[in-house]
């Protein structure tokens, strides 16, 4: 065959079964990548759902004792009550928040004017004509948002992710609350028979420490949110329901939660004037001292039996290892570890006798 001649065209014979196998392999790969990427979020939802289940479990047991119902209807009643309370609180927060957000652009220029009366920095604020710059920024804000939809899209995406994560967390909490006893019994069967008594003691210790800590923390956080909500309403702080909800959530974070809750409270109070901001700072500091020295030691401190330096170190380690979720779990896990250690030292486990 000469170099100028070409052979018959090459045919690619693609078997249908090969194409199907390739499609299945691609689908499995895509699902695997999605699963791996979603593992952190799923674990976070499972962890928080477990906390809610532990906090609501005493209520389920109380309903069972009072009504003589089985586990499923008692847990369903508690979950229904929790969902109704959550939906009511969400409605009470959302409606005033939307209304007050519309009024913030009218309040901010007045706040800047009030800042001109502050000592030391007030004259500089007036000389730099900050009031005019703020008004121009507010006037240009709608145009900026309409020209670049990235911030809006990002905000909508963040809200959607938060709603999906919250829904998943509630589903996992409901599943754990409904099937918790069955899961515990199945896990108990995996333990060798001669170790089951020790496993029961171990599980009871961990449940008592972690459960009491979570229930006490939720009670303290609810009290803190109620106090800040009341103070916001009295002082005329905008977005008062949102402030109360934010303080309630951040109060659950050991050590650093107080600072996270104070910042929005004070900043929103500043929109009503420097005097209101100072009043917000004073109220928060007074309440924080009462909580740290009176409320926390009585309600939460007895559950974990840890010193303040120990809880601080545990919270910092938890934040470094797992963010906010790590901080939530670090203190009760340390308290549970201490309780198990003391029980083993006292000979309450067969292995230590």
pLDDT of residue 58: 82
Q: Using CA atoms, how far apart are residues 149 and 141, in angstroms rounded to an integer?
A: 12
> Is-contact 263 290, C-beta < 8 A?
no
- What DSSP line would sit under 35-69, residue for residue? HHHHHHHHHHHHHHHHHHHHHHHHHHHHHHHHH--
Per-residue pLDDT for 196 more than 90? no
Task: Locate 40 and state its tokens.
Answer: 């952190």
Per-residue pLDDT for 9 more than 60? no
pLDDT of residue 292: 84
Give the pLDDT mean for 56-66: 86
Tens of pLDDT along 202-222?
A: 888 888 888 888 888 888 888
Residue 189 — pLDDT band, cuts 50, 70, 90?
Answer: confident
pLDDT of residue 281: 92
Tens of pLDDT along 279-293?
A: 999 999 999 999 888
On the CB side of 211, how many CA atoms lie within 13 Å of its CA? Answer: 13
Tens of pLDDT along 88-136?
A: 877 777 766 666 666 655 555 665 555 555 555 555 656 665 556 655 6
Contacts of 280 (CB under 8 A, 6+ apart): 231, 235, 237, 265, 266, 269, 270
Backbone angles phi, psi at 206, to 5 degrees: -65, -40
Give the pLDDT mean for 171-196: 83
pLDDT of residue 131: 57
Q: Would you say the pTM of this structure is higher than 0.75?
A: no
**Secondary structure element (H or E) that encloses residue 273, with its range:** none
Q: Using CA atoms, how far apart are residues 94 and 116, in angstroms rounded to an integer?
A: 33
């Amino acid at each position: 065959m000469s170099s100028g001649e070409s052979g018959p065209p090459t045919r690619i014979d693609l078997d249908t079964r090969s194409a199907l196998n390739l499609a299945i392999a691609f689908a499995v790969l895509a699902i695997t990548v999605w699963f791996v990427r979603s593992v952190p979020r799923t674990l976070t939802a499972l962890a928080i759902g477990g906390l809610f289940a532990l906090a609501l479990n005493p209520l389920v047991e109380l309903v069972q004792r009072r009504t003589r119902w089985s586990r499923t209807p008692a847990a369903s009643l508690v979950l229904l009550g929790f969902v109704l309370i959550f939906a009511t609180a969400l409605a009470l927060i959302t409606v005033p928040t939307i209304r007050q957000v519309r009024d913030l652009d009218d309040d901010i220029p007045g706040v800047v004017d009030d800042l001109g009366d502050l000592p030391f920095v007030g004259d500089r604020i007036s000389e730099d004509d900050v009031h005019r710059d703020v008004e121009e920024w507010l006037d240009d804000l709608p145009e900026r948002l309409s020209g670049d939809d990235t911030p809006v899209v990002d905000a909508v995406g963040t809200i959607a992710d938060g709603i999906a994560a919250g829904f998943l967390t509630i589903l996992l909490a409901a599943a754990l609350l409904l099937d918790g006893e069955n899961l515990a019994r199945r896990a108990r069967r995996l333990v060798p028979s001669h170790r089951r008594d020790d496993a029961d003691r171990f599980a009871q210790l961990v449940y008592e420490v972690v459960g009491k800590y979570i229930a006490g923390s939720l009670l303290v956080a609810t009290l803190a949110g109620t106090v800040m909500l009341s103070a916001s309403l009295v002082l005329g702080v905008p977005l008062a329901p949102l402030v109360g909800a934010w303080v309630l959530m951040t109060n659950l974070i050991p050590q650093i939660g107080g600072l996270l809750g104070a910042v929005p409270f004070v900043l929103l109070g500043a929109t009503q004037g420097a005097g209101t901001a100072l009043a917000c700072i004073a109220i928060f500091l007074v309440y924080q001292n009462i909580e740290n020295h009176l409320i926390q030691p009585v309600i939460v401190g007895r559950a974990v039996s840890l010193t303040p330096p120990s809880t601080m170190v545990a919270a910092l380690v938890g934040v470094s290892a797992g963010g906010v979720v790590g901080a939530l779990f670090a203190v009760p896990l340390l308290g549970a570890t201490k309780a198990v250690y003391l029980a083993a030292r006292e000979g309450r486990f067969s292995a230590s006798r």
